[in-house]
Amino acid sequence: MGKRVLKYLRTYIQDCEVVCFIDQDENKRIFEGLPVFSIDEFNFRKSEEILIVTSQYYDSIKENLLNKGLKENENFFYGEFLYYALEDMEAVDDAQERLEKEGFTCSYINKDTLLKKKMSEKLFIMGSGSSINEYTPDIWNYIKENDSWGFNYFLVHPFIPTYYSFEVPNKGDRTVLSNLIFNYMARDDYPLDYIKDVRYVEKNDFRFFENKKESIPIVKDTSLYFKNRVESINQLKLIEILGGLDEEFFVRGRPGSLISIVLNGIKLGYKEIILCGVDLNNSDNFYNNPNFKIDLEKYRIPINNKIKKGFHITQTPTPDCLGTSEILGIIDEILLKPRGIKLYIASSTSLLSRDFEIYNWDLT
């Protein structure tokens, strides 16, 4: 694991100097051109250096480091996710190669590309929840005066955001992906800032892009795995210390696009982030409302004949990932509040309104 993490740091993290490895194997004195010390030999300078543990035996190493007076998530971090981060980057390169063999030309999108479009200090993130239908014309005009980011099926709404992105599913039915591309191609007035998770692209996934083969925007992104609170804090603090929120690559958060876009908002320097149509307490969508007019010959949407009661799928925790509200709470605690960034919820009907302040629409 250590060799792969070293490659990731050397390749993607600027201004990061790896000075040595620490290992209990007394016969190992040089590894990947760097000196190897035992933990007792190494003179650790708390104010200048951090330790990244790249061993599967983290728990026992952690105990040893704690006994030496070092603090977890301050002096030392578990770096397993950086091992997978290198796989992420390499998988994007592989996907680009596959797409180019199909005749597409991909362009890597970076922070500076998106900053050129930034016009305000507020970012409205536009989800597809049913609360979108509550907005008055004055509210839509207010959002229009600021920057906004739509994702996935928000595209079928007539409002055109500043930014737009959609994601490639990692497995299973490709209907959603083909629908998203079909819908995008049905509009000639819409941005497409990047396609998330292009690493998962399969042969013929992009067939509806046939007449736009020269302009597929993709990103290199490092995945954060929000398995539990402790690991989530570890990853966020480490990627922040390493400067990952300032680097040209992006930080991708599970379980979906929303978390990634919130992290993008931090990267782009927004002072206020407002979540719109992020309801989470049901599976309803604005386009399923009979009062919402949509041309079903022009667009393809999933039809919910029965709105499921209970939480949105991304709000339900799994053994591998926390629910959306808990992830947002950790991001707020570790990244947003220390930077003075406010996270708001646009609607009092959202599940998130119990944890975050409701946005005050100043329409005067």
pLDDT in tens, 179-199: 999 999 888 889 999 999 999
pLDDT at 166 exceeding the cut of 50: yes
| Domain boundaries, given as residue ranges, for the chain | 2-78, 84-358
Task: Report pLDDT for 247.
Answer: 66
pLDDT tens for 229-239 read 999 999 999 98
Helices (H), 149-256: 175-185, 229-241
CA angle at 75 for the pair 70 and 81, rounded to the nearest 5°: 125
pLDDT at 319 exceeding the cut of 90: no
Task: Report pLDDT for 188.
Answer: 84
Q: Which of 249, 219, 220, 214 is nearest to 100 (CA)?
A: 214
pLDDT at 330 exceeding the cut of 60: yes
Task: Report pLDDT for 306.
Answer: 44
Task: Report pLDDT for 171.
Answer: 77
For the chain, what is the radius of gyration of the CA atoms? 22
Q: Which fold has domain 84-358?
A: sialyltransferase cstii, chain A (3.90.1480)
Separation of alpha carbons 270 and 273, rounded Å: 7
Residue 87 CB contacts under 8 Å (≥ 6 apart), including other chains: none
Distances 275 to 95, 185, 266 between C-alpha atoms, Å: 31, 26, 14
Question: How many CA atoms lie within 13 Å of 94's alpha carbon, on the beta-carbon side?
Answer: 12
Q: Give the rounded percent of residues in the chain with a pLDDT score beyond 90.
A: 47
Average pLDDT, the chain: 88
Query: pTM for this one?
Result: 0.92
Give residue 305's pLDDT band: very low, low, confident or very high (50, 70, 90): very low
Among 218-227, 278-287, 347-356, name the most confident range: 347-356
Three-state secondary-structure class, residue 274: strand
pLDDT tens for 57-88 read 899 889 988 988 889 999 999 999 999 989 98
pLDDT at 244 exceeding the cut of 80: no
